[in-house]
Amino acid sequence: MKTAIKQLLATACVALITISMRAQTTEYARPEALPYKNPALCVEERVNDLLSRMTTEEKIGQLLCPLGWEMYEKQGGDVRPSAAFKRM
């Protein structure tokens, strides 16, 4: 019984290591594989790729930062005015 548990545990560890190694080689682990980060592509292709990856909330957030990113700070899941914004 103990041997079977040890074998099962060893198999699970090997599976986790294999999955972890596989995750390191995905498209997201290699920034150069992301079209929007590829300077060899034209600007229009890069912009279209990036916009297709963004959520509606992220797109709205881009439009609602007219004073620059330093005017806002992220607190948990919320974005709030920063101290620099409050000093204006």
Looking at residue 24, its pLDDT comes to 60
Looking at residue 22, its pLDDT comes to 64
Length reported for the chain: 88
What is the distance between the alpha carbons of residues 21 and 41, in angstroms, rounded to a whole number? Answer: 29
User: pLDDT by residue (tens digit) across 36-79?
Assistant: 999 999 999 999 999 999 999 888 878 877 777 778 888 888 88
Looking at residue 29, its pLDDT comes to 55
Share of the chain above pLDDT 90, in %: 24
Q: What is the pTM of this model?
A: 0.45
**CA 79 distance to own-chain centroid:** 17
Looking at residue 42, its pLDDT comes to 95
Please list, in sequence order, all residues whose beta carbon lies within 8 angstroms of the beta carbon of residue 54, skipping any fewer than 6 positions away: 62
Residue of 8, 46, 15 whose CA lies nearest to 54: 46
